[in-house]
Amino acid sequence: MTIIIDGKEISKKILAEIKAETKLLYDKYEVKPGLAVIIVGEDPASKIYVKKKRQTCESLGFYSESYDLDENISEKELLNLISDLNNEPSIHGILVQLPLPKHLNEKKILEFIDYEKDVDAFHPINQANLFSGEPSILPCTPFGIIELLKRYEIKIEGKHAVIIGRSNIVGKPLSLMLLKENATVTICHSKTNNLSYFTKQADILISAVGKPEFIKADMVKENSVIIDVGINRLDTGKLVGDIDFENVKDKTYAITPVPGGVGPMTISMLMKNTLITCKKLSF
Ligand code: NAP
């Protein structure tokens, strides 16, 4: 029987653990994890993500500040706000929702966030720490994937993990995290020749491409573990991952569905990062 990895359930458990620890922190030290969420402009998808993050903060008993900024805000104004938040002791995490409007230099803005409050882990210092094998803050989606594997007691050490996708937010950091867990890691991308040669060798296959039903049953190894990071909206409105789930699932030992797999983990790990930075900065 294939294990369907229930990211929704694990995510709920993690949030419950965070909530309990938040209460303890407050009862004992009157400290609350504080997250500032900044959104610039009116991108509808970004607005939904930000709303969910704010609601989750509230449900956990976090302190949160919201900044809905005008599309035309200047870079200087945004940097001034970040500077204030960097210096604000009640704020332990600063999140700038991406993408930003074109006139704003994304790299410059993300690098301006105090790396100790960089709960998305996009700052070069956090990336470098991950690279050196001594991570400080972990990027949320890869962190969620590792957590899913661990909570399902899926052995990583010694396994061949094949990642499809080399983005800075998923593929690259995940490769370093799996390496730290002693997996043998292969990274594939759009220029990889004979992709299925690699995918068929994977004990753990992670797809972060963004193409519906991209991975077919004949591309995966029997009894492998499949993690589907892809989020693709079909013309019918249906949400699907990168894996041809119905045809692949019976061949696998365990697989994440879309929706309800990796997706719900990302926000939980953001909250976990805020709790971690709160403890680090408060004591
Ligand atoms: P991205 O920056 O667009 O990266 C996509 C990667 O896929 C690139 O490395 C690209 O290769 C590779 N690729 C494209 N076509 C390919 C092909 N035919 N064969 C092999 N590799 C191919 O995307 P991302 O930000 O990492 O996101 C990937 C997917 O995950 C998207 O669907 C996104 O919505 C989803 N996502 C989900 C979560 C979550 O919380 N569940 C979080 C983040 C992202 P090149 O580098 O050569 O272009």
Residue 206 has a pLDDT of: 99
pLDDT at 116: 98
CB 117 within 8 A of CB 277: yes
Ligand 1 pocket mutation, candidates 172, 214, 229, 262, criterion most atoms within 8 A of CB: 229
The rounded mean pLDDT for the chain is 97
Using CB distances shorter than 6 Å, the residues near ligand 1 are 141, 164-167, 169-171, 188-192, 195, 208-210, 229-232, 262-263, 266
Tokens for 32, please give them: 């609350």
Ligand 1 centroid, distance to 212 Cα (angstroms): 11
- What is residue 227's predicted lDDT score, i.e. its pLDDT? 98
**Residue 128 confidence (pLDDT):** 97
242 is a catalytic site residue = no
| pLDDT recorded at residue 76 | 98
Q: Is the pTM of this model over 0.85?
A: yes
**How does pLDDT run across 59-106, given as a tens digit for each residue?**
999 999 999 999 999 999 999 999 999 999 999 999 999 999 999 999
120 is catalytic: yes
* Alpha-carbon span 206 to 203, nearest angstrom: 10
Which pLDDT tens digit goes with each residue over 174-221? 999 999 999 999 999 999 999 999 999 999 999 999 999 999 999 999
Per residue in 125-144, pLDDT (tens digit) is 999 999 999 999 999 999 99
Strands 232-233 and 239-240, how do they pair? antiparallel
Share of the chain above pLDDT 70, in %: 100
Q: What is the pLDDT of residue 65?
A: 97
Count of other CB atoms within 10 angstroms of residue 19: 16
Best of 231, 233, 239 to mutate for ligand 1, by most ligand atoms within 8 A of CB? Answer: 231
Residue with CA closest to ligand 1 atom 8 = 165
Q: Could you tell me the pLDDT band of residue 229, with boundaries at 50, 70 and 90?
A: very high
* CA atoms in the 13 A half-sphere facing the CB of 201: 14
Residue type, 227: I
Catalytic residue status for 97 = yes
Query: Residue 166 has what pLDDT?
Result: 98
